[in-house]
Amino acid sequence: MLVDELAWLALSLQPHIGSKTLSQLLAHFGSASGILAASPDDLQQVRGIGAKLAAAIKSINLETVDHQCQQWARAGVQLLPHYHAHYPLALRTLEDAPASLFVYGDILLRLPQKAVAVIGTRQPSPVAQQAAYRLGRLLADSGLLVVSGMATGIDAAAHEGALSVPNGVTLAMLGSGVLRPYPPQNRKLAQRVSQHGALACECAPDATPNAPRLVSRNRLITGMATEGVIIVESAADGGAMHAARFAQAQGRPLFTLDLPASGNQALIEAGVMPLAPDIADIDFLTQIAD
């Protein structure tokens, strides 16, 4: 691996360094290896770099990172810096795009470019569970990439629906490393997703989940959803509402099922397009697939 590529990956693994901050550092120092060679005082001349982050950058050991990257690559993980040809364009255009993406499974280049996210609560009603599965199946059957977050409940049902189609593909954006998919009860599903699509994350491939990562990955789920985001069912304070806000900020079309859940009703009252719970009207799917 080239020194600059390795330095980029090392920097992107640091918390609080996304593509925007890394671009600012590059503009100041000229190269990723130049960033690592800079003094703490010089690093702090760049906006967003304080003493703590400057110290973290100076503590980077490229030999250790190189060893980690080789281990991840041997395990089947693809390391995609922001500038890599296979880094998804849908994410590259985001202001807060990950500096690097880590992928396990099919390369993103071979996945359908048009995508819809299907997400919702971990404890769905039977109607919502069935709707998520049906949506995953219909979208995949229309040749679209089904994006979700591998959580129990709605996410898992959407992935399963996509996998029920012979040539269906699905992408799981994780709030943990791709080598430690979360939750544990969905690891068999994660393996199937990796065989018919991909698992992806912005954190180290062996990272454990935590609340900030699980929230942050929502912006990547919606960011990948070029054709729209469907909130199947959510409480008003549910995690899927983070995704709804990300979708609106990113300008992604947003839909929700007309169900009594408080989050769904709040979205509908705010002007989000409602869909029938039985997904009988799939005109919007036809429009997306055209």
- State the virtual CA torsion across 281, 284, 285, 286 in degrees, nearest 10: 100
**118 and 217 housed in the same domain:** yes
Residue 208 belongs to domain with CATH number: 3.40.50.450
Shared domain for 256 and 140, answered yes or no, is yes
- Counted residue by residue, the chain has a size of 290
85 inside domain = no
Answer whether residue 81 is part of any domain: no
- Range of 10's domain? 3-74
Q: Which of 21, 9, 4 is nearest to 72 (CA)?
A: 9
Give tens-digit pLDDT for 160-218. Answer: 999 999 999 999 999 999 999 999 999 999 999 999 999 999 999 999 999 999 999 99
- Judge if 20 and 118 occupy the same domain: no
Between CA 118 and CA 4 the distance in angstroms is 37
Residues 53 and 116 in one domain: no
CB 87 within 8 A of CB 198: no
- As given in the structure block, the two tokens for residue 145 are 């990439």
- The reply to whether 94 falls in a domain is no
pTM beyond 0.85, yes or no: yes
Intervals of the chain under pLDDT 70: 1, 280-290
If asked whether residues 145 and 278 sit together in one domain, one would say yes
Question: Is the distance from CB of 140 to CB of 157 less than 8 angstroms?
Answer: no
Assign residue 67 the CATH number of its domain.
1.10.150.20
Domain count, the chain: 2
Residues 45 and 179 in one domain: no
- Give the start-end residues of each E strand in the chain: 77-81, 100-105, 115-119, 145-148, 170-173, 197-201, 228-231, 254-257, 273-275
pLDDT of 48 reads: 86
What does the pLDDT read at residue 289? 46
| Whether residues 44 and 118 fall in one domain | no
Domain end marker among 52, 74, 96: 74
pLDDT at 279: 72
Q: Strand 145-148: give its sheet, edge to edge.
A: 77-81, 100-105, 197-201, 170-173, 145-148, 115-119, 228-231, 254-257, 273-275
Reading the block at residue 188, the tokens are: 């068999």
